[in-house]
């Protein structure tokens, strides 16, 4: 029930009750004020929440060195968010992701990697080791965030949101492996999800539609 509808119904009940009461009495005025307060507190926030769903821009994530990255800084730019790993069969996709960053970054695309060690323990290194590997092996220059969990109770809130907005194969939410990719539009809405076997170069057309 919407806030406005609830307020109308309660006001109607109050009016009926008021016709049978002495409206000028202090207890009546106090009860009416208290009820109005409860309506505002309990119903209006829910109505606001329903009309303003959360977007990717509402999240802050952990960056290397204990810093924080506010994703609101990417408003107006499409984002490709990827859970990465250094010792995976899909690790060569770093090369394709870097190419997207270099070719489409100047047009607005933001590629953001999130190292994750949940799949086969294929990202065991610390922040410095991950950075050096990506830089020396694939000349990665797009931003890599701090290592995160993407599944389970300790999953990063951003990835919980991404998974709920775009489900995977057969409607499941859980991420199956490294290098799952989420495409986000300029307004922070999740518009695409691509499995590990889908190489970065195969989704260029989808990205270009958002630029």
Residues known to be catalytic: 88
Rounded to whole angstroms, how far apart are CA atoms 92 and 129? 17
Count Cα atoms within 13 angstroms, Cβ side, for 53: 9
**Among residues 186, 181, 190, 209, which one has the least CA distance to residue 74?**
186
Q: State the DSSP H helix or E strand holding residue 62, giving kind and residue range, or none if neither.
A: strand 60-62
Rounded to whole angstroms, how far apart are CA atoms 141 and 136? 11
Q: Which residues contact 187 (CB under 8 A, 6 or more apart)?
A: 55, 57, 75
Question: What angle do the packed helices 3-19 and 26-51 form, to 10 degrees?
Answer: 170
Q: Where are the alpha helices (DSSP H) in 74-187?
A: 93-104, 127-138, 157-165
- State how far Cα 187 lies from the chain centre: 12
Count Cα atoms within 13 angstroms, Cβ side, for 174: 8
């Amino acid at each position: 029930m919407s806030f406005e509808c609830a307020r109308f119904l309660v006001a109607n009940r109050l009016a009926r009750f008021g016709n049978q009461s002495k409206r000028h009495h202090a207890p009546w005025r106090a009860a009416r004020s208290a009820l109005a307060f409860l309506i505002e507190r309990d119903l209006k926030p829910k109505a606001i929440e329903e009309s303003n769903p959360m977007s990717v821009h509402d999240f802050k994530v952990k960056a290397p060195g204990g810093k924080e990255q506010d994703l609101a800084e990417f408003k107006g730019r499409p984002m490709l968010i990827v859970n990465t790993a250094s010792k995976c069969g899909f690790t060569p996709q770093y090369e394709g992701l870097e190419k997207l960053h270099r070719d489409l970054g100047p047009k607005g695309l933001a590629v953001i990697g999130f190292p994750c060690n949940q799949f086969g323990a294929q990202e065991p290194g610390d922040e410095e080791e991950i950075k050096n590997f990506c830089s020396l092996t694939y000349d990665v220059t797009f931003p890599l965030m701090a290592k995160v969990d993407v599944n389970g109770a300790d999953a990063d809130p951003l990835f919980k949101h991404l998974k709920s907005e775009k489900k995977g194969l057969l409607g499941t939410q859980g991420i199956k492996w490294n290098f799952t990719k989420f495409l986000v539009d300029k307004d922070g809405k999740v518009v695409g999800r691509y499995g590990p076997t889908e190489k970065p170069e195969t989704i260029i057309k989808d990205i270009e539609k958002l630029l």
